Amino acid sequence: MTFDFALRGLLAPAVFAGVLLLLAWVSRDSAEKASRGWLGALALGGAYLFGQAAAISGLPPFPPIQADDRLFWIIVSAVVLAAVEGLLSERWPLRIALRAGFSFFAVYFLLARLLERRELGQVVTLVAALGGALILGWTLLAAWATRRPGASVPLVLWFTTSAVSVALLLSHTAKYAQMAGTLASCLGAAVVVSWLRPSFALGSGAAGVVAVLHASFCIAGVWLAATPLPTESALLLAGAPFLAAAAEIGPLAKLTPSRAVLARLVLVSLFLGPALFVAWVEAPPPSPY
């Protein structure tokens, strides 16, 4: 990791996200509004986009050429969608329909170059499977991030995204590892804000941006990397945040807040540990050149 990337791709986005989140959650009323939609998406998504653009010294081309260029514009669209969802807060069937359409589009758009070489049946199967998984994960994560205030959600997502970055780095996929690192830095800022503002909730808009990015990194690691991330690792990384939901039910739901946070991190580690171990075992040897 170069000093330039650490400054522009990690530190600057974290400061950007932290300032916007603090402004959005400056009062209880604004916190309630921010947790519902576009303010959180703008804070977290905008900070990530700033980091990706700063890391490459400018906006990626449009129409996009490479998959990472496509990912940038997918997240721009996700932030816009969060704003639209905020206007449709009481019309949940329409929100779910828009979310579903966007999920299938995002998967197809990200994998467009790869899918050009596949038969129609394979394209439909892959897009349907990955898009359906994204819809489900997005909906569950948005619900949890809206209802659970405090540090739990941003801390779990920071922990998971950091593990994704490490797994991609182990697979020698440095570009996507850096992008995941940028998202992790933004989520780290959200953790700090949650300590400063006890009423803080990441919210559905920000959670949607994280869900799209998290899924995109796992998809890119398996299908777009020169050295693919093991499928087992990708599945464990993708499912890790949702394991923390087990702490919301049964005996774990009665824990004190600090112990509940620890329990969620332990549960997530049950997936993250094996995911990193498999990525490490399957990692290609370093190039001698």
User: Cα separation of 53 and 272, whole Å?
Assistant: 29
Q: Return the ∠ at Cα 26 (arms to 22 and 29), rounded to 5°.
A: 135
Please state, as a whole number, how many other Cβ atoms lie within 10 Å of the Cβ of residue 116.
Answer: 8
Taking each helix axis from N to C end, the angle separating 92-110 and 67-87, rounded to the nearest 10 degrees, works out to 170
Q: Is residue 148 part of a domain?
A: yes
pLDDT at position 264 is 87
Total residue count of the chain as it appears in this document:
289
Q: 28: pLDDT confidence band, cut at 50, 70 and 90?
A: very low
Q: Between residues 86 and 10, which one has the greater pLDDT?
A: 10
Domain with 54, as residue range(s), is: 3-281
Domains in the chain, number: 1
Three-state DSSP string of 214-278: HHHHHHHHHHCCCCCCCHHHHHHHHHHHHHHHHHHCHHHHHCCHHHHHHHHHHHHHHHHHHHHHH
The answer to the question of residue 288 being in a domain is no
182-207 pLDDT tens trace: 999 999 999 998 888 877 888 888 88
Residue 277 domain-assigned (yes or no): yes
Q: Residue 3: its pLDDT value, please? A: 65
Is 287 inside any structural domain? Answer: no
Task: Report yes or no on 213 lying in a domain.
Answer: yes
Of 36 and 101, more confident:
101
Report the C-alpha gap between 68 and 61 in whole angstroms.
10
Residue 216 in domain: yes
Over residues 117-134, mean pLDDT: 89
